[in-house]
A and B are shown apart, each in its own frame.
Chain A
Amino acid sequence: MDNIEKKLLTKRFGQIDPLSIDDYIAKDGYAALQKAVKITPAKIVDSVKASGLLGRGGAAYPVGLKMEAVQKAKSPEKYLICNADEGEPGNFKDRYLMENDPHQIIEGMVISAFAAGATKGYMFIRGEYSRPIYIMTNAIKAAAEKGYLGQNILDSGLNFEIELYTGAGSYVCGEEFALMLCLEGNPGRSTFKPPFPTTEGLYNKPTQINNVESFANIPHIVLDGAEAFAKIGTEHSKGTKLISLCGNVRSKGLYEVPFGVTIRDIIEKLGRGVAGSGIKMVQLGGASGSCLPANMLGLALDYKEMADDDLTFGSGAIIVMDDSIDVLDIVRNTLEFFRHESCGKCTPCREGIEHLVILLDKFIEGVATKKDLELLETLIETIKQTSICGLGQAAPTSLRTTLKYFRKEYTSKIKKHHAKVI
C-alpha cells in the first residue's frame, strides 16, 4: 500500500518530548523565527500570501490577507489570537498539535506577531483540554525563559507575550467574535459583522485570529520558503491538511496528508476501511459538516473542488459511518448538539433548531406529511441564510445534505394518506 501521508506539521511527533524546548530546538525549532527576524515584516506577509496558506479553522480565508490587514492597520495596540477552542465534534487535530509539538505553534505565533505588528498574543484553549493546557502553559514559560517571548525577542525589537486563556465549554466560543467577547470577559455570544477582527477585533483593536494549525504552518513557510510550501497540494489548496479520522474505520487517528488526496484513499489506505459490510455515509468536517454517500468519496481534498459541489470539509474531520447506522438517528444527534450549543442570540438558530428537531422527529415517528417536508426545507434554508454566525448557518448542514443525498430515508417515512382500509 502506497503511503499517501505527508508529514510536515507532524514530523516531530513522537520524536521530541513536548515538555522539552531543547528537543524542539534540536529539530530546527525556532530556526524559522531566527530567519524571520532578519527579514522585514512585509516580506514575511508576502511570503505567507505567496504560500497560498488558507485558514485551517474551517472558513479557509487566506492567512496572509489577515496578516497584511493587521499589519497595515494603524493602531498602537494590535492583538494576535490563536483559536484553540477546538469544539467541533469529530475534530482532535489541534489537541494533537498542542500535545505533541507545542513550540511549533508558539513559533508560528511569534513570527506572525512580528509580521503583523501584534503587541500581545492570546491562546484560547478549550477548557476540557487539560493536557494541552498543561503542555502549552509549560511551553509558553519555556519559550519566555529562552527569550522567544518577552521583550526585544532575538534583538528584533519585537515585544510579544502570549497569555493563555481557557474557555468554559461553550462551542460557540470557537466562533471568532464570540471568542473575543469571551476573552474580554463577556458571555460568549456571536455578533454581527463587519467590522471584521482585522479592523476592530479584541478590545476593538486590529486583531489577527487564526486556528492552531494555521499558525503551525507558518514556521515551515518561513523556513522552507513559500515556493516549496506551495509545491505541496493542489492548484487551489496548498500544503498539507491534518485529518481527524474517526467513526467506524479500523484505524482511527490523526493523519497528515497533502491536499488532493481523495476521501476514499484516506478512509481505505489510512483508516484501513470499515469493519462492517460497507460505508453508508461519511460526514466531513464534524457535526456541522456535509454528509456524503459512499459513491461520492472519490472527491479530492481540495477547497475549490469541494466548494464547487457546495461542500466544505471544515477543519478536517472525517467521520465514517458503516451500514449499521440510521441516517435520521445520526442527523438527530447532530441537531441535538446544535440545539444545546446555540448561544441563543438570533432567532433562526435559537428557535429554528428546536423546530428542526420537532419536524425531524415526525419523520422518525413516521407521522410526517409532505407539508412537513416542505416546511423543513424552508426552515433549513432560512437558518442557513439568516443566522448571525457560521455556527447557526452550518447547524442544519447534516440535515440539508442528507435530504439531498439520502432523500429516500425521509420520503419513505412520509405518512401515506390513502392507505386502504379493509
Chain B
Amino acid sequence: MEMVKLKINNKDIEVEDGTLILDAAKEISVDIPTLCYHPDQEIKANCRVCVVEVEGQKTLQPACSTVVSDGMVVNTNTPMAREARKINVELLLANHDMSCTTCIRNGNCELQKITAALGIRETRFENILVEQEKDESSPALVRNQNKCIKCGRCIQICAKVQGLSILDYMGRGNGSEVKPAYGKYLNDVNCVACGQCSVVCPVAAITEKEDIERVWDAINDPRKHVIVQTAPAVRVSIGEEFGMEPGSIVTGKLVAALRALGFDEVFDTDFTADLTIIEEGHELLKRIKEGGTLPMLTSCSPGWINFIEQYYPELLPHVSSCKSPQQMFGALAKGYYPEKIGKKAEDIFSVSLMPCTAKKYEAQRSEMCLDGKYPDVDVVLTTRELGRMMGQAGIEFAQLEEEEYDAPFGISTGAAVIFGATGGVMEAALRTVYEVVTGKTLEALDFNAVRGLEGIKEASVDLDGMQVNVMVAHSLSKARQVMEMIKSGEASKYAFIEIMCCPGGCIGGGGQPYGVTDELRQRRIDAIYEADAKLPFRKSHENPAVNTLYDEYLKEPLGEQSHHLLHTHYFDRKS
C-alpha cells in the first residue's frame, strides 16, 4: 500500500493511501465528531457534522467521506469548521422532539452526546417540528418520527444487512422522512421485527417497545410467582450497559441482579437450548432416516421465522418444528412447572430476558399460549431494558457478588451457551448428533469451521461413514441467498442449515446494548466460546436436568409430550 504524507492541525503524518481524513485524524489523537457515520456501514455523508477545512478547497469537506491525498493540509479545529458543525447540529435540534429528559435514549443518545461535545448552549433556530403520531403498531418496536434526524443508518442496515428495505426515505426537502413504504404502520409491512434498525439508530427514532412496567407490576403482585429465563447472549453483553468491557462474562452477576430485582426464580434459557438440541437433533436424524424434507432449517431465531413465513413460505417444510428455546421454556413454565411446584398456570408470570426484539413478537403469537389463555411467555425484556430496570432499582451491577441459577431449569451446558453466536446451534447439534449416531465419544468439541463472522459458513462431518454437510448463515441478506440455493437445488447436498436473523447471531441481536460494530460482535463471540469452554458439561445430551425431564415427564425425544409442548407449526404470511 502506498503511503501518503499530509498535515493535520500542523502535525505531519503519514497514512496509507485511501485513508479517510476521519481515520487519519485519529492517528494524531483527534476525534472528529460524527453523527450519520457508522464504521460498519457505507459512507452516507449527509449529516455534515464532521466537516473540516482542507486547504485549497472552496468548501468545508466531510471527514467521513474525504480521502487523504499527498500534501493535503487539513485543519479540524478552525472557527469556521466549529461554527458549521454547531449550526448543523442546531438545525437538527430545531426539527427534533427536545423532550430529552424523558426520552428512552436519555444518557445514551448520540445527538445528545454531540450537542454536549460541541458545547451547544442554545438552539438559535426556532423549533419547526411538526409532531406526528408514534407508530406503536408493532409488538416489538416503536417508531417515533419526531426524534428522527434522517441519518439513514436504519435504512442502510435494513437494506444492506437484512436485505429487506422496510424503511426508506420518503418525500423531499424538509418533508423528507424515514418510513415504511407509503407511510404504512410497521406492523402492516413485511418487517421481521429484528430490531437491527433500533441498534444503529443514534437517537430514539426507533426503539424496542418497552415492557418494564408490566414486569414491575408482576413482581409487585403477591399472587404472582414471577420467573425469569436468560438467553445465552445476554450474559456476555449486559455488562456493557454498566460500562464494563465488551465481552465480559457476567453470568453470576446477572443471576444476582435478577434476584435482587425480585424475581422468584432465576432460570436459564440455556436449559431449553439443550432441550432444543435433543429434539432438533432427533428430528434431523428422523428426517434423514425417513426421507423427510432436507435440508432442515433451524427455528430458534424469531426474526428468521418471520422472514421465511413472509418471504419464502414455500420453504416452510424445511424448518424444524421445534419451538425456539424461549418458547420451549415458556411452554414448560406454564405446562409443566406449575404442577411441579404446586401452583396453577395462571399464578405463573413468565419473563424472558433476550438480546432480541423479535422475541417480543414471538411471545405474543397466538399458538404460543396455554389453553388459549396463558401466554407461555408473558413479557420479553431486551438486554437494554434490563439494564434500565436495574438502573431504576439502583443495582450496582459491576459490584454484585456472583450467584447461581435456580434448579432445575438453571442447569445447562456449554453447548447451550454457544447458541448465542452464529454457528453455535450447529456446533451444539453436531456435538450431540455425533455421539447419538456413532455411539462414540466426541473428542474434538470445537467445530471451528462454523464459528466466526463470515456470512455463510459450511462444514462436513463424518458420522461413522455417513457424511453430513451443514451450512450456517447469519443476517437475512445471507438467509435469502441460502433460500435461493435451496430453491435452485444448489443446497441439496446439505442436511442441516442454521440460520440466525442478526449479524453475528444473537450476540448481535436487535435488543443488545448500543454501539455495535463487527469488532464488538467478535468480542462478544469470543466471550461466548470462553464461557462454553469453562463449563463442566459441553454437550446438550449430558445435561442432567434435561435427562431427568425426559425420564420424569417427556419420556422420549419427539414423543407425545414433546409434540404437545415443544413443537410448533408455521404460517404462510406472504400476502
In the complex, A370→B174 CA distance in Å?
27
- Report the minimal beta-carbon distance from A365 to chain B, rounded to whole angstroms: 14
A355 on the B face (CB < 8 A): yes
The answer to whether B172 and A347 have CB atoms under 8 Å apart is: no
- Report the minimal beta-carbon distance from A177 to chain B, rounded to whole angstroms: 12
With contact pairs A382-B84, A388-B45 given, residues A347 and B91 touching in the complex (Cβ less than 8 Å): yes
Chain A interface, number of residues (Cβ within 8 angstroms): 35
Interface string of B398-440 (1 = CB under 8 A from A): 0000000000000000000000000000000000000000000
User: Which residue of B has the minimal Cβ distance to A194?
Assistant: B67
Chain A residues near B87 (CB-CB < 8 A): 348, 352, 378-379, 382
A354 on the B face (CB < 8 A): yes
The answer to whether B83 and A388 have CB atoms under 8 Å apart is: no
B571 on the A face (CB < 8 A): no
In the complex, A385→B88 CA distance in Å?
11
With contact pairs A355-B125, A385-B59 given, residues A347 and B94 touching in the complex (Cβ less than 8 Å): no
The answer to whether A347 and B174 have CB atoms under 8 Å apart is: no
With contact pairs A339-B174, A385-B80 given, residues A346 and B46 touching in the complex (Cβ less than 8 Å): yes
Interface string of A353-370 (1 = CB under 8 A from B): 111001000000000000
The answer to whether B65 and A350 have CB atoms under 8 Å apart is: no
Chain A residues near B46 (CB-CB < 8 A): 345-347, 388
In the complex, A25→B95 CA distance in Å?
58
User: Which residue of B has the minimal Cβ distance to A374?
Assistant: B124
The answer to whether A355 and B59 have CB atoms under 8 Å apart is: no
B465 on the A face (CB < 8 A): no
B48 on the A face (CB < 8 A): yes
Interface residues of B in 165-187 (CB under 8 A from A): 169, 171-176
The answer to whether A350 and B174 have CB atoms under 8 Å apart is: yes
- Report the minimal beta-carbon distance from A352 to chain B, rounded to whole angstroms: 6
Chain A residues near B150 (CB-CB < 8 A): 344, 347, 350
With contact pairs A189-B169, A355-B91 given, residues A344 and B175 touching in the complex (Cβ less than 8 Å): yes
Query: Chain B interface secondary structure, helix, strand, loop or mixed?
Result: loop
The answer to whether A384 and B59 have CB atoms under 8 Å apart is: yes
B453 on the A face (CB < 8 A): no
With contact pairs A358-B128, A387-B48 given, residues A187 and B84 touching in the complex (Cβ less than 8 Å): no
Interface string of A165-197 (1 = CB under 8 A from B): 000001010000000000000010101101000
- Report the minimal beta-carbon distance from B257 to chain A, rounded to whole angstroms: 40
B92 on the A face (CB < 8 A): yes
- Report the minimal beta-carbon distance from B503 to chain A, rounded to whole angstroms: 25
B358 on the A face (CB < 8 A): no
The answer to whether B83 and A382 have CB atoms under 8 Å apart is: yes
The answer to whether B172 and A355 have CB atoms under 8 Å apart is: no
A152 on the B face (CB < 8 A): no
With contact pairs A344-B171, A344-B173 given, residues A192 and B94 touching in the complex (Cβ less than 8 Å): no
A330 on the B face (CB < 8 A): no
Chain A residues near B88 (CB-CB < 8 A): 347-348, 382, 386
The answer to whether B62 and A344 have CB atoms under 8 Å apart is: no
The answer to whether A351 and B94 have CB atoms under 8 Å apart is: yes
In the complex, A254→B222 CA distance in Å?
86
In the complex, A350→B45 CA distance in Å?
14
- Report the minimal beta-carbon distance from A57 to chain B, rounded to whole angstroms: 18
User: Which residue of B has the minimal Cβ distance to A385?
Assistant: B60
The answer to whether B84 and A347 have CB atoms under 8 Å apart is: no
- Report the minimal beta-carbon distance from A124 to chain B, rounded to whole angstroms: 18
Chosen A-B contacts, 6 in total, with CB atoms closer than 8 Å, are A344-B169, A345-B176, A347-B88, A351-B91, A355-B125, A386-B84
Binding site for A on B (CB under 8 A): 43, 45-49, 51, 59-60, 62, 65, 67, 80, 83-84, 87-88, 91-92, 94-95, 124-126, 128, 150, 169, 171-176
Question: Top 9 nearest A-B pairs by Cβ distance?
Answer: A344-B176, A351-B91, A192-B45, A342-B173, A382-B87, A386-B48, A192-B65, A385-B60, A382-B84
Q: Told that A192-B43, A347-B47, A351-B91 touch, could you supply 5 new A-B pairs with CB distance under 8 A?
A: A341-B173, A344-B172, A344-B176, A350-B174, A378-B87
